[in-house]
Amino acid sequence: MGVRFAGLSRATWGAGLSVVALVAASAIPSPASPPDRRPNVIVVVTDDQSFDTLPSDAMPWLTERLREPGWTSFPKAFASTPICCPARVTLLTGRYSFHTGVRTNLDGAALDETETLAVWLDDAGYTTALVGKYLNRYPYDRGPYVPRGWDRWYAKRNIELATTYRDFPVVDQGVPKTVLGAYATDVLAAQAAAFVRAAPTGNPFFLLFAPSAPHQPWTPAARHVGALATPAVLQRPIDVDRAPHWVRALPPIDAVQAERLAVARDLARESLLAVDEALEEIVNEVEARGQLERTIILVLTDNGFSFGEHRWVGKGCPYEACVRTPILVHVPNTIGGVDETLVSNVDVAPTIAELTGTAIPVGFATDGISLADAIRGGEQPARDGVLLTYAGDESVPGWWAVRTQRWKLITYTDGFRELYDLARDPAELRNVADDPAHIDVVARLVGLYEAPSLGPSTERR
pLDDT per position as a tens digit, 112-132: 999 999 999 999 999 999 999
Answer whether residue 13 is part of any domain.
Answer: no
Q: Are residues 397 and 435 in the same domain?
A: yes
How many Å apart are CA 77 and CA 57, to the nearest integer? 20
Mean pLDDT score of the chain: 90
Provide the H-helix boundaries in 136-183.
Answer: none
Q: Are residues 393 and 364 in the same domain?
A: no
Q: Using the predicted structure, report yes or no on whether residue 9 has a pLDDT greater than 50.
A: no
Q: Are residues 282 and 413 in the same domain?
A: no
Query: Tens of pLDDT along 31-59?
Result: 556 778 899 999 999 999 999 999 999 99
Q: What is the CATH number of the domain that holds 154?
A: 3.40.720.10
The torsion of the CA quartet 117, 118, 121, 127, rounded to 10 degrees, works out to 160
Domain boundary, last residue among 355, 383, 411: 383
Give me the pLDDT at residue 453, please.
Answer: 56
Return all residues near 318 (Cβ < 8 A) that are at least 6 apart: 82, 388, 390, 399, 401, 408, 410, 418
Q: Using the predicted structure, report yes or no on whether residue 173 has a pLDDT greater than 50.
A: yes
Closest to 418 in 3D by CA, of 322, 317, 348 = 317
- Whole-prediction pTM: 0.90
Provide the H-helix boundaries in 151-230.
Answer: 184-198
Q: What is the mean pLDDT of residues 449-454?
A: 64
Amino acid occupying residue 401: A
CA distances from 227 to 19, 62, 66, 214, 231 (A): 49, 17, 22, 15, 10
Q: Are residues 376 and 442 in the same domain?
A: no
Q: Are residues 81 and 151 in the same domain?
A: yes
How many Å apart are CA 446 and CA 433, to the nearest integer? 12
Domain holding 418, by residue range, is 387-460
How many distinct structural domains can be found in the chain? 2
Q: Are residues 371 and 396 in the same domain?
A: no
Burial class (CB in 10 A: 0-12, 13-18, 19+), 30: exposed
How many Å apart are CA 247 and CA 242, to the nearest integer? 10
Q: Are residues 421 and 336 in the same domain?
A: no
Answer whether residue 426 is part of any domain.
Answer: yes
Q: Are residues 371 and 421 in the same domain?
A: no
Answer whether residue 356 is part of any domain.
Answer: yes
